[in-house]
Amino acid sequence: AQSVTQLDSQVPVFEEAPVELRCNYSSSVSVYLFWYVQYPNQGLQLLLKYLSGSTLVKGINGFEAEFNKSQTSFHLRKPSVHISDTAEYFCAVSMIKAAGNKLTFGGGTRVLVKP
């Protein structure tokens, strides 16, 4: 079985400042990794995914994440946030060789961007 830990439940940040959201996972097998964003009163949207290849993955809205296999981490970053980035962010994993498309999500990190 796999699990995902998002170390920060809330991250306040000023507009135009950088932000990093931490995600660590535990799995005995190789995994795919994802970041989803949930804006208030909406469903989850895919920000980016890591399947293979380059460990630095770029997503939508200026976000990027880096896969670190030795540290089993997949931290999300943005160099300069906007007010519109206020949302909850979820890290998720799925086993590469498992049948089915099941995702396991972390507990989420709420980002509050202040003017």
Partner 1 sequence: DAGVIQSPRHEVTEMGQEVTLRCKPISGHDYLFWYRQTMMRGLELLIYFNNNVPIDDSGMPEDRFSAKMPNASFSTLKIQPSEPRDSAVYFCASSPDRARSGANVLTFGAGSRLTVL
CB 69 within 8 A of CB 80: no
Identify which of residues 28 and 101 has a Cβ nearer to partner 1 in the complex.
101
- The residues binding partner 1 (CB under 8 A) are 32, 34, 36, 41-46, 49, 51, 90, 94, 100-108
Please, are residues 33 and 92 in contact by the beta-carbon 8 Å criterion? yes
For the bound state, the minimum distance from the C-beta of residue 115 to partner 1, rounded and expressed in Å, comes to 26
Distance CA 67, CA 73 (A): 6
Q: Which is nearer to partner 1, 15 or 38 (CB)?
A: 38
* Integer Cα distance of 47 and 75 in angstroms: 13
Question: Residue 84 Cβ, how far from partner 1 at the closest point, in Å?
Answer: 18
- How many residues belong to the chain? 115
Which C-beta is closer to partner 1: that of 9 or that of 80? 9
